[in-house]
Amino acid sequence: MTDIFREVDEDLKRDQAIQLWKRYGKYVIAFAVATVLATAGIVAWQNYREKQRASEGRAFALAMELVNRGDAAAASTAMGDIVNQGGGYRTLALLQEAGLKLRTGSKAAAAAIYDGIAADGDIQQPFRDLATILSALTNIDTAAAAATDKKIQPLLAPGSAFRPSALELEGLLALKQGDSKAAKKTFQELADDTTALGGLRQRATQILTWIDEQGGA
């Protein structure tokens, strides 16, 4: 991730913030998915009997091998089979399927999967919240700012596990609308949030510097 943040730092000095987001946003998405999936597997693992979960785990591991090999078509088919069969890895497979859509540039299809997860009452809330964040990230360049803002509002509540990510999105939306004052307030709140991951706070600080350099309020 060091090289990514170095690129972000350079871009902050020469590009508009929303153009910057277009360049490194895909890395944020990948990092968010990887981080949550690492813990989400544990949640799925705890919900099923030993024999059942071992079989499902093997199927998901094989599908992930296809993802890692870059065989998008085969990986998508394998993830689709896991989704259709249900079980403890269904949600993880859906997230990976959406990620595969993003790799091929199918943003609308990816967003539809994320929105489906977010709206599914049978899926545990942490996964639904993650899907909401990823949907907002996927559509940030094309969706109406008001619609995206409404989507992430519940995640801005104190105590929300995804509040720092939602704050970053809120700040980016403000920049997209040219409201540097609101953006600065939001990114300052994120930079001061000790519960946020270091990478999020670092980006918030860098964007605050960029706003100041541009003469923002």
Count of alpha carbons within 13 angstroms of residue 102, beta-carbon side:
24
Decide: pTM greater than 0.85.
Answer: no
pLDDT on residue 36 = 47
pLDDT on residue 101 = 87
pLDDT at 87 over 80: no
SS3 label, residue 203: helix
Q: How many residues does the chain have?
A: 217
Fill in the amino acid letter for 129. D
Classify the C-alpha dihedral 165-192-182-15 as positive or negative. negative
Which pLDDT tens digit goes with each residue over 110-152?
999 999 999 999 998 888 998 999 899 888 888 888 899 999 9
Q: With contact defined as beta carbons under 8 Å apart, do 189 and 167 qualify? A: yes
Q: What are phi and psi of 102, to 5 degrees?
A: -65, -40
Higher pLDDT, 27 or 200: 200
pLDDT on residue 41 = 45
- In 10 A of CB 200, how many CB atoms? 19
pLDDT on residue 65 = 84
Cα separation of 131 and 119, whole Å?
9
Q: Give the lowest-confidence range in 13-27, 98-112, 140-154.
A: 13-27
Cα separation of 101 and 113, whole Å?
9
Per domain, the residue ranges of the chain are 24-143, 144-217
Look over the chain and give the mean of its residue pLDDT values, rounded to a whole number: 78
Taking the domain 24-143, which CATH number applies?
A: 1.25.40
Q: Residue-wise over 27-38: b if at least 16 C-beta within 10 A, else e? A: bbbeebbeebbe
Q: Could you tell me if residue 93 is left (phi over 0), alpha (psi between -120 and 50 degrees) or otherwise beta? A: alpha
Q: How confident is the model at residue 16 (pLDDT cuts 50, 70, 90)?
A: low
Higher pLDDT, 35 or 77: 77
pLDDT on residue 167 = 92
* Radius of gyration (C-alpha) of the chain in whole angstroms: 18
pLDDT at 94 over 70: yes
Which pLDDT tens digit goes with each residue over 154-195?
999 988 888 998 998 898 888 888 888 898 999 999 999 998
